Structure 1
Amino acid sequence: MNLITPNAAAIDIGSTMHEAAVNPDTDIMPVRAFGTFTQDLHALRICTTLPTGSGRAVPPA
């Protein structure tokens, strides 16, 4: 299967938790879980918008 958009993120939105997945070649932790409160959503946004190759360190809580 050909990779069409390598920097796209997949997000599974749940009522108590959201899970985000990014290209495993660009992240040391490609799948992460986030809560549903505002600070959690800010962390999810940061995690999925960092530039490729940045190592995507876990954002501060």
Structure 2
Amino acid sequence: MARAIRSGEPHRATGELALHVLAVMEAIEAAAATGAPVEVAADAPSPQALPEDWDPYAATLAP
């Protein structure tokens, strides 16, 4: 996220994605409590794949 903010690009961790993750976690908890499947109603768009040459260790701050 910090790298995206510095470069001016949109970051991958959107609020929509966070809400979807929360809905999935709540569905897992409810399914564990009841022993029955729980449908996840929230939907979030999948983030685009990272470029093949993306380096998680690349230095992005100027010295």
**TM-score category (smaller protein):** under 0.3
Larger radius of gyration: 2
TM-score, with structure 2 as normaliser = 0.25
Instruction: Please state which structure has a larger fraction of its residues in strand.
Output: 1
